[in-house]
Amino acid sequence: MNLRQIRHFVIVAEELHFARAAARLNMTQPPLSMSIRKLERSIGVALFDRSAKRVALTPAGAIWLEYARRLLAEAEAMPQIARRAARGETGVLRLSFVSIASFTLLPDLVCRYRRALPDVRVELREATSDVQLEGLRKGEIDAGIVIGPTGHFGGGLAHRPLLQEPLVAAVPAAWPVARHEDVDFAALADAPLILFPRHFAPSYHDAVAACYAGQGRSMRIHQEAIQIPTILGLVAAGMGMSLVPRSMLGMERSGVRYLSLKGTAPLIELCMVWRDDQSKPVLKSFLSLLDRDDRQA
């Protein structure tokens, strides 16, 4: 059985007349009749009732016609499907992100990509920066939104900055300092600190350390956690304070107050990182969307 025979079957089923079907197919009737007989032998089922006066579909042939038409339509679409896949218009994009990104640029970015390329399935994975970089090098993800700067990414990975934002102090609402809108960091330098281990996001960790160094102090971490929501939960419990991105102001948390830092607040940067080969079409289309955003900005 092949596509040519199936097409012959569909045309004969539509015409219910071998001579007319042969004319539509630009062939003579005997080869068409032979093609249908070979098809019936190959599947072991009679598709037509033939008599001197009429040709009719058998019950099996009538049911098979629907599937035959669907198969031909899919076969006809295959070249276009291949071309769309090569252009990155179909497929799967595996995108990972740090939790901070879900409060800033990630929702809008994914929404615009899905509008532009609705046939690409986006698989989102939340992960810390170090886990993402390892996943990129192993080929387990296609792109990741991580905390920069770029100097920590290493060879084989390309990157581009996406967003910079300042850090603010997250303090327990019960602390006296929580009555203010902003604070000198010196007033917090001796407070218990809640932070994540440095290898999860070295530049973020170093930005916090720089605040202490500016006061001639060293960090003394009271408690570690690996996700911002967990850190805020510990702050709400009164276990200490932390420095978090300003975008966390949109995440209202009972028991937590956010205070701006007086003077020049330290910055963190979110970056898009991917394998430098860009061999996957959906990754190219995703990066092209970022390029268009840059040109329109």
Model confidence pLDDT, tens digit, residues 81-119:
888 888 888 999 999 999 888 888 899 999 999 999 999
Which part of the chain has CATH 1.10.10.10? 3-86
Structure tokens at 149: 């700067």
- The pTM assigned to this predicted structure is 0.73
Q: Is 223 left (phi over 0), alpha (psi -120 to 50) or beta?
A: beta
Confidence of residue 294 (pLDDT cuts 50, 70, 90): low
Rounded distance, CA 215 to CA 210, Å? 9
Rounded distance, CA 48 to CA 124, Å? 51
Q: Mean pLDDT in the chain?
A: 89
Spatial contact of 186 and 255, defined as CB atoms under 8 Å apart: no
Candidates 3.90.550.10, 3.40.50.2000, 3.40.190.10, 3.40.50.2300; CATH matching 164-267: 3.40.190.10
Q: Is 288 left (phi over 0), alpha (psi -120 to 50) or beta?
A: alpha
Structure tokens at 126: 């939340």
Rounded distance, CA 194 to CA 208, Å? 11
- What pLDDT, in 10s, does the model give residues 199-245? 888 888 888 998 899 888 888 899 999 888 899 999 999 999 999 99
3-86: CATH number = 1.10.10.10
Q: What percent of the chain has pLDDT over 90?
A: 57
Spatial contact of 95 and 143, defined as CB atoms under 8 Å apart: yes
Spatial contact of 195 and 205, defined as CB atoms under 8 Å apart: yes
Q: Homologous superfamily of 91-162+270-296 in CATH?
A: Periplasmic binding protein-like II (3.40.190.10)
Q: What is the DSSP letter of 88?
A: T
Which part of the chain has CATH 3.40.190.10? 91-162+270-296, 164-267
- Between 56 and 276, where is the model more confident? 56
- Whether the per-residue pLDDT at 252 is higher than 90: the answer is no
* 193 phi/psi in degrees, rounded to 5: -105, 135
Handedness of CA 260, 268, 115, 119 (dihedral sign): negative
